[in-house]
Structure formats: structure tokens, C-alpha cells
Amino acid sequence: MSTIRIPPVLRTAAGGSKTVEVAGATVGEAIAALVAQHPALRDQVLAADGSLNRFVNVYVNGKDVRYEQELATPVGPTDTIILLPAMAGGR
Amino acid sequence: MPKSFSDLMREARSQIREVNTAEAVDLVASGARLIDVRESSEWEEGHIPGAVHIGRSYLEQQIEGAVADRETPVVLYCAGGVRSLFSAQVLAEMGYTNLASMKGGFQAWKSEGRDWTKPVVLSKEQKTRYSRHLLIPEVGAEGQARLLGSKALFIGAGGLGSPALLYLAAAGVGTLGIVDFDVVDLSNLQRQIVHTTDRVGRKKVESAAETVRALNPDVTVVPHEEMLTEANVERLIAGYDVILDGTDTFETRYTLNDAAVRAGIPVVHASVFRFEGQLTVFIPNEGPCYRCLYPSPPPPELAPGCSVAGVLGVVPGTMGLLQATEALKVLLGIGDTLSGRLLIYDALDATFSELRLRRDPHCPACGDGAPVASGSGVFTLKGGFGTSTGANA
């Protein structure tokens, strides 16, 4: 099981969880497991065609999967996946 | 057995290597540190470019800060070559192994027609006001003069802008521009500490300027009471050395990013949400830009501002102060900035974490392709989310 860190802005859709443990050998499988547990997250993380939304960055152990193998990036049982959507607040 | 001055000189000469000005130049070119041990008043009349000033009376106290490694070659000079010789003896006693004293000192240097420079002289009051900066070798009088001649632009005088404005004003950054068209609201005061209760209803740029002037009369505030848009962004940011992005909307953040990339101005970026903050520095053509990090904005329901989602008042305070710190580093050219790194602060967990950012070669703003053409409209973000920077979050 790898750990997905849910950013504050998505926590409501994840039932308030800060982290979610998921099974899966790739980022794609891990995110599929995440949205199966919390269906409200689907539209916020994935585009209609199943690819990652461009406004959500995904990091595996601190590395941006855009520069790895996107959804096919492998994840191990001790890996941490971070979802990072843009935040605008400043005032 | 008492010693005469000549005895002491003989002794020093037998212990310390003396070099002429040409040899000193060669030593410095190959990595030696050049230390000027004269009095402050002499230094202010002119010194060798690149030299570090540590008056002889402060040498023991300050040398370790300026030259940490005792193996580093050090060349000392004074006015005529006597004080530097005795100073070198002191450093030898402290364990510095590679020392030289420049024969003839600054007088010889000048009379040979070599290059010298006159430092910006701080007033007596400025020397007192900035004394804690002057004591730091990385800032010193030269760095302080640089700050006084620098211009920083704040996009927003709100939660992030407030603490950053106060500290950059206190630090003596000479010109602070503020872009904000909003008025002070009572709900701002939970975190926007540059404003005060009796200024509710007044323009934020005016209120901020008043606070800054009361804190430091050295600082000139340039108020821009308007909303940053594609139409005015180039004019607003022109001439500034660094920009602190403290806005509340994606539209403004992208507009600012694209214009700053085109103008080559570094942007210190921060954003906050409830208990969390993100911070990084975008240095055009050196590191990634905002579009490399987030190629497109999220839909409005996923990106509520502080006015919708709320924020712990101190979180923009923390992030704004980190912005101020990065801005000072950019202006002074010291340390490693957060360029290429995103710092994430989680106040509830009390953790800071860091993600590595990459420059996107296909980035439409800073990538290998053509830069975003000004006013092309290609990246104009169509409505649907906050279109004003006055969301008062």
C-alpha cells in the first residue's frame, strides 16, 4: 500500500482524510483506487478522458510524474504520492 | 625588555610575507580574499573594488565571519602597509596560514593609477538604523546601499503583502510599489497587519503607505491604485527589481507571470489556503515559471480564495515573511533562493516540505518556443473564477 497525501483543498471530497492508503503498482492504479474509495475526487483529479487534470501536479517521493512516466510511473509500497493543486489565496 | 616600534616592525616583517600591488592583484584573481583593515572613515573615502572592510579594531571579532576557512589565502591592506602587517600577525596567531600584507597600501594602489571605488556613504542615522545589517558580512554597508537603491513591487497589500511590506520597509528597500485597488475592510484586520482599525474604508495603498512612512522615512512608497490586468501589467512592473506576488486570483497570477518572464523580473510567489502555504521564486530564464508549475488554472470550485475558504490569519503572515526573506536574498544576490523548489508549509502539522520543480521546455511562457506575445489573448483566462484582485479574502 502506498500513501496518497490529500491537499487541504481536496479533503472535503475525500471525507476529510489527510492521507489515504491505496493499493496499486503505478500512479494510475493508485489514483484509480483512491477515486474508487472517494468518488467525489474523480472529477477533481482526472479529466474526462482519464488523464490527470493539468491543474493538479502529482509527485512520487518528491518527483513530478510529468517528468517520469505520468500515470504509468511505478509506485512501491513505501512510496508517498502527493497531489498538489494550484492555490490562489493570498489576501 | 620593552620593544620599540622598529623592533615590532622587524618582527612582523620576519613573520609576514609582503607583496606589491601587482602580486596582490594576482593573489586575489586566484581566489585570495582582500581585507581592508583601515578605519571606517578611510574606507568611505575610497577602497579597492571587491575588498571586504574589517577595521583593525574589529579584526579578531569579525574575521571568522568573513573568512571561515583558515587555509583561505588572505591579502590585507591599509593606507600605507603598516597596520596591515600587524593585522596579519594577529590572523597568524588565530591560525590563518596563508597571509600576505600589501606593501604601500591603498596609497601605493592609488598612485599607480589602479582602479578604486567610493562606497555609498550611509548617514549617521542610517548607520544606526541598519546597524544589525551592517554587522552581517553578507549585507554590510554595500548591501545596505544596494537595498536602499532597490525597488520591490507588491501585488496586493493584503495577507501576504502586509508582513512583507513591513519587513522590506524596515530593511530599507528604498522603493516599495504597491498595486491594490481595494479599501480596508474590518474582516481584513484578522491578518492584514499593515492596516489599522481606524483606517477601515480607506484605500489600502494609502493605508499601507502611511504605515511604511511611519516605520521608515528612507522608503518611498509608489501607490498604484488599480487592478493588475493585461492592459497595464507591463507599465506597472517596469523598472522593479523584484516582485512579490500576493494576489488572490489565478487570472492575476498568470498575467503577472507572463509579463514578468518577458521583462526578466524575478517573482517571489506565495499562496495560502486555510492552514497551508506554498512558496517559491520564479527567476526568468534560470528556473521554472508559474506556468511550468501549473500549466492551467483549476476550475473556480477547486480554488476558493481566503474569503470563501477562510485562512488562519497567521499563515499568510508566515508565508509573507518568507517571501520578504527571499526578496531580500534576490536583491542582495546572496544565498540559494527557492528557485526550482516549492516549499509547502503545513501549520497544523508544523511541517515544512519541499518539492523539486522543473522548467518545462514546452512552457508557453518561458519555454524554448516563442514567448507569450503581449496582449495576444491566447492565455487570457475566460471568466468563471474571480476576476478581481479585490476579493478581500
Split at pLDDT 50, 70, 90, the class of B377 is very low
Q: In this structure, is residue A53 part of a structural domain?
A: yes
Q: CA B314, B320, B322: angle at the middle one, nearest 5?
A: 110
Q: Using 70 as the pLDDT threshold, list the residues of chain A that sit under it.
A: 90-91
User: Cell numbers 610575507 label which residue?
Assistant: B17
Residue B338 has pLDDT above 80, yes or no: yes
Cβ–Cβ of A86/B354 closer than 8 Å?
Answer: no
pTM: 0.77
- Name the domain count of chain A: 1
Render pLDDT for B279-292 as a digit per residue (tens, 0 to 9): 999 999 899 999 99
The percent of residues in chain B predicted with pLDDT above 70, rounded, is: 92
The pLDDT score that the predictor gives to residue B296 is 83
The per-residue DSSP string of B260-320 comes to: HHHHT--EEEEEEEBTEEEEEEE-TTTS--HHHH-SSPPPGGGS--HHHH-B-THHHHHHH
Average model confidence (pLDDT) across chain A: 90
Picking from A43, A61, A91 by the largest number of B CB atoms within 10 A of its own CB, the best residue to mutate is A91
The pLDDT score that the predictor gives to residue B368 is 83
Cα distance between residue B74 and residue B87, in whole Å: 11
Residues of B in contact with A55 (CB under 8 A): 294-299, 302-303
Q: Residue A10: which domain range?
A: 2-85
Split at pLDDT 50, 70, 90, the class of B269 is very high
- Which residues lie across from A56 on neighbouring strands? A85
Residues of B in contact with A91 (CB under 8 A): 156, 158-161, 188, 192, 246-248, 305-307, 316, 389, 391-393
Mean pLDDT for B52-56 is 94
Cα distance between residue B52 and residue B45, in whole Å: 15
The pLDDT score that the predictor gives to residue B370 is 46
Residues of A in contact with B357 (CB under 8 A): 64
Cβ–Cβ of B357/A63 closer than 8 Å?
Answer: no
Taking alpha carbons only, the member of B105, B100, B79 closest to residue B16 is B100
Q: Does B345 touch chain A (CB under 8 A)?
A: no
Cα distance between residue B29 and residue B114, in whole Å: 15
Q: In this structure, is residue A48 part of a structural domain?
A: yes
Taking alpha carbons only, the member of B381, B374, B318 closest to residue B346 is B318
Q: In this structure, is residue A57 part of a structural domain?
A: yes
CATH number, domain with residue A26: 3.10.20.30
Q: Does B315 touch chain A (CB under 8 A)?
A: no
Do B244 and B164 touch, CB atoms closer than 8 A? yes
Q: In this structure, is residue A90 part of a structural domain?
A: no
Q: Among A75-89, B37-51, B258-272, B334-348, which stretch is predicted with the lowest mean pLDDT? A: A75-89
Do B229 and B253 touch, CB atoms closer than 8 A? no
Q: What ipTM does the predicted assembly reach?
A: 0.89
Give the residue from chain A lying closest to B189, CA to CA: A91
Which of the two residues, B378 and B327, has the higher pLDDT score?
B327
Mean pLDDT for B45-57 is 94
Neighbours of B334 (CB within 10 A): 14
